[in-house]
Structure 1
Amino acid sequence: MTMTESNSSEQAAEFPCPKVEPQKEHEWLHKLLGEWMSEMECSMGPDQPPMKSTGTESVRSLGGLWTIGEGTGDAPDGTPVASIMTLGYDPQKQKFVGTFVASVMTHLWSYEGTLDESGKVLTLNTEGPSFTGDGSMARYQDIIEFISDDHRILRSRTPGEDGNWTEFMTAHYRRRQRQAA
């Protein structure tokens, strides 16, 4: 046995990986699994018409503990956009956690959130670049609401100057029906 192999074995014995069982919150995330079509409407600012676009999302499981959603669509200027959203549940924090990245931005969005009592609405809190463009950071929420097993809505919002939440994006996701073989 080489010195490297010996050290690896000793380290594995010192730091064993405990077996992790999915919680009911992980099972809730499994409702996201599958192929989805999306229709999005985004506010482009005061006195401007909303931008509408369509896209797709493919959501898979990672070990039963995480979901990975890979989305495609178009930016307001027609540029193709790809995105990845990861979601999981951290039993120690008792919070849903995750990240979001997109091909048209450099910020890594980190999520932490909770499920409402109805079990239909997951509110994810995050922080990112302010829409003011002054380099400051702002608070945001992405809210996932299940209307049915095959229809969910993603809403994005940020606090306005008055402190009340202002919704700036709504996307309807509808499960793509499997075609008969």
Structure 2
Amino acid sequence: MQTPEPQSEHLWLHQLVGEWSIESECVMGPDQPPMTTTGREVVRLLGKVWTIGESSGNAPGDGFESIMTLGYDPQTKRFVGSFIASTMTHFWPYSGWLDASGRILTLDSEGPSFSGDGTMAKYQDIIEFITNDHRTLTARVQSPDGSWQQFMTAHYRRE
């Protein structure tokens, strides 16, 4: 099997590679105060067409660890990947696109709703490069009325 040549979309992902400090704020409900966490992420390449980001940090309880994979599928013309975390049992598959500015990658997924009633909801993780050394990850969930509600923002700064 021949190693695939990276396309411009794969090269876009290469800017994620490195060591990052993380500061995040998450709101889990309207009656709850924001939860802040800090951590660290190391992103590496797998070949020239995948990135693997491994994060860890403080959070209530035992802290957290997570792994995010990202790549690009030239056949579907979509960014693809996954997210798993030590603080949850759901496997989050990603399918996404890059905006026209080339700075914002929006990743769609589906997972358990915050209602806790066993229903599923649509989610988006949005990666935006502010500078080469500062990016954000914003997470939002789609409400039953179709509107999007942001519940988490994380700032990543290159170390």
Matched, 1:45 2:24: no
The letter for the 1-side match of 2:106 is T
1:98 paired residue among 51, 60, 81: 81
Matched, 1:57 2:21: no
Matched, 1:137 2:86: no
- Name the % identity: 64
| Matching residue of 1:68 | 52
More helix per residue: 1
The letter for the 2-side match of 1:104 is T
* TM-score, normalised relative to structure 2: 0.97
The secondary structure found in structure 2 opposite 1:167 is strand
The letter for the 1-side match of 2:145 is D
| Matching residue of 2:105 | 122
The letter for the 2-side match of 1:53 is T
Q: Which runs of 4+ in 1 moved over 3 A?
A: none
How far the C-alpha of 1:106 sits from its partner, in A, is: 1.1
Give per-residue Cα distances to partners, 1:49-75, cap 9 Å, x unaligned.
100110000000000110000000123
- Counterpart Cα distance in 2 of 1:56 and 1:74: 10
Structure 2 runs not aligned, ≥5 long: none
The letter for the 2-side match of 1:38 is I
| Matching residue of 1:151 | 134
Give per-residue Cα distances to partners, 1:87-144, cap 9 Å, x unaligned.
0000000000000000111111000000000000000000011111111111000000
Give the count of matched residue pairs.
159
- Counterpart Cα distance in 1 of 2:28 and 2:142: 16
Further displaced range: 42-51 or 116-125: 42-51
Q: Would the alpha carbon gap of residues 81 and 27 (structure 1) be closer, same or farther in structure 2, given more than 3 Å must change?
A: same
The letter for the 2-side match of 1:146 is F
- Counterpart Cα distance in 2 of 1:78 and 1:107: 18
What are the within-5 Å matches in structure 2 for residues 79-90 of structure 1? 79-90=62-73
Q: Point out the structure with max Rg over C-alpha.
A: 1
What are the within-5 Å matches in structure 2 for residues 162-173 of structure 1? 162-173=145-156
The letter for the 2-side match of 1:148 is T
- Counterpart Cα distance in 1 of 2:84 and 2:122: 16
